[in-house]
């Protein structure tokens, strides 16, 4: 992660909640919150990359106390401006290393990281550190939930390394993959009404579910469940993403 607001500064924060991605649809948000509230099991939840509160706010309305970690002050400012946003505690910093004081309220029963954000941690060492940081915040028996895509390498023709994922009259976007290092960069070109274009890029590191299981094991967590969706559809070879739940051992 970079310093200051990283890649999610004021420009991104301004329009973030206007996304047409499925994850922003009310039905999907409700399904996400249903499962997270169940896994919290009456305890507190820690959201890594809390952002503008897309998940944290409805989860808090379910009665689950939520604390967040986020690098972007601009995104958190959007959270604070929403009803209930001021009541949610947020620690500003890199979620792979930032610690939250649990002395007063005790450890968390749930930590979660959604919408592919584990891949925004753009190197393997930092991804491992993220799992260890989460484990340090969890109570025994507590869960870490990650929602992330399955790498789209099947879409790459032989001899190429680019996968387009959005095209339209107002812009397009594509990903450039390095299949040796697992590094990748998403490039976005937005076209304004006057025809002028604005380009920006976001680096990430794609990661396989088996690799995440090993990271969890190194942090003292074990895989409990893995599904294709928030409604617990089975994870198969055809799944394009997974919801994985790792549990901290008791004792």
Q: What is the pLDDT of residues 180-226, one digit of tens each?
A: 999 999 999 989 888 888 898 999 999 999 999 999 999 999 999 99
Q: Are residues 146 and 158 in the same domain?
A: no
Q: Of 243, 213, 217, which is closest to residue 230 (Cα–Cα)?
A: 243
Give the rounded percent of residues in the chain with a pLDDT score beyond 90.
Answer: 82
Q: Are residues 159 and 66 in the same domain?
A: no
Asked whether residue 4 is assigned to any structural domain, the reply reads: no
pLDDT at 194: 87
Each residue's pLDDT tens digit, 25-80:
999 999 999 999 999 999 999 999 999 999 999 999 999 999 999 999 999 999 99
Asked whether residue 138 is assigned to any structural domain, the reply reads: yes
Length in residues, the chain: 251
Is the pLDDT reported for residue 241 higher than 70?
A: yes
Q: How many helices (H) and strands (E) does the chain have?
A: 6, 11
Each residue's pLDDT tens digit, 127-142:
999 999 999 999 999 9
Asked whether residue 2 is assigned to any structural domain, the reply reads: no
Q: Are residues 91 and 126 in the same domain?
A: yes
Each residue's pLDDT tens digit, 75-93:
999 999 999 999 999 999 9
pLDDT at 228: 98
What are 188's strand-pairing partners? 173, 200
Is the pLDDT reported for residue 250 higher than 90?
A: no
Q: Are residues 159 and 243 in the same domain?
A: no
Q: Are residues 74 and 193 in the same domain?
A: no
What CA–CA distance (Å, rounded) separates 241 from 228? Answer: 6
Q: Are residues 63 and 169 in the same domain?
A: no
Q: Are residues 120 and 195 in the same domain?
A: no
Q: Are residues 48 and 107 in the same domain?
A: yes
What CA–CA distance (Å, rounded) separates 165 from 172? Answer: 8
Asked whether residue 1 is assigned to any structural domain, the reply reads: no
Q: Are residues 220 and 140 in the same domain?
A: yes
Pairing of strands 89-92, 66-70: parallel
Q: Are residues 80 and 187 in the same domain?
A: no
- pTM of the entire predicted model: 0.93
pLDDT at 24: 74
Domain limits for position 167: 153-202
- Here the CATH number for the domain that contains residue 70 is 3.40.50.150
What CA–CA distance (Å, rounded) separates 209 from 148? Answer: 9
| 103 CB-near residues (< 8 Å, 6+ apart) | none
């Amino acid at each position: 992660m970079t310093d200051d607001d990283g890649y999610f500064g004021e420009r991104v924060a301004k329009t973030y909640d206007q996304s047409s991605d499925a994850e922003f649809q009310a039905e999907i948000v409700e399904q996400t919150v249903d499962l997270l509230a169940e896994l919290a099991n009456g305890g507190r939840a820690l959201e890594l990359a809390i952002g503008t509160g897309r998940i944290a706010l409805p989860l808090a309305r379910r009665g689950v106390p939520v604390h967040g970690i986020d690098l972007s002050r601009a995104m958190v400012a959007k959270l604070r401006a929403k009803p209930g946003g001021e009541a949610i505690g947020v620690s500003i910093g890199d979620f792979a290393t930032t610690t939250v004081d649990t002395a007063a309220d005790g450890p968390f029963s749930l930590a979660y990281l959604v919408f592919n954000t584990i891949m925004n941690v753009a190197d393997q060492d930092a991804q491992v550190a993220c799992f260890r940081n989460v484990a340090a915040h969890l109570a025994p028996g507590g869960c870490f939930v990650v929602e992330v895509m399955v790498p789209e390498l099947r879409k790459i023709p032989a001899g190429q390394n680019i996968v387009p994922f959005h095209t339209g009259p107002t812009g397009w976007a594509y990903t450039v993959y390095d299949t040796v290092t697992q590094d990748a960069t998403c490039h976005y070109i937005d076209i304004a009404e006057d025809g002028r274009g604005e380009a920006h890029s976001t680096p990430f590191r794609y990661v396989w579910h088996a690799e995440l299981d090993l990271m969890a094991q190194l942090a003292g967590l074990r895989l409990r469940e893995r599904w294709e969706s928030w409604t617990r559809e089975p994870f198969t070879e055809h799944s394009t993403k997974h919801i994985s739940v790792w549990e901290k051992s008791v004792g």
